[in-house]
Amino acid sequence: MFTGCAEFDLLLPQDSRSLKAKRSYVRPIVASLRKYEVAVAEVGDQDVHGRTTIGVAAVAGENRHVQELLDACEHHIAGRPEVELLSARRRVFGPEDE
């Protein structure tokens, strides 16, 4: 079994100066990532206007499949015109990592 996680640091549009406006950008992104059958949530910068960190976790029987899922999520976020992907960090753990 392999597990992988990724954190995506996002810059939100200038008009997300309130937490309500911020949620209007974050919720659709989180919902759209669920189509990849991964666990996803806003994991950082919840109280910061204009920024957010979205975390994604995936589990699969092969390392290659976990990498493909995380790649697909990263490409999906990077392709969204309303946000700017500032950084992406990922880790994958396998059977030898105890």
> Which comes out higher in pLDDT, residue 86 or 47?
86
User: Which class for 91: exposed (0-12), middle (13-18), buried (19 or more C-beta within 10 A)?
Assistant: exposed
pTM of the model: 0.86
* Alpha carbons 78 and 46: distance in angstroms, whole number: 20
Number of domains in the chain: 1
In a domain, 71, yes or no: yes
In degrees, to the nearest 5, what angle opens at C-alpha 12 toward C-alphas 34 and 53? 50
Indicate if the pLDDT at residue 94 is higher than 70: yes
Which pLDDT does position 50 carry in this prediction? 85
pLDDT higher than 70, residue 98: no
pLDDT tens-digit readout, 21-46: 888 889 999 999 999 999 999 998 77
The CATH number of whichever domain residue 84 belongs to comes to 3.30.70.1120
Q: Are 4 and 89 in contact (CB under 8 A)?
A: no
Q: Would 68 be classed as within a structural domain?
A: yes
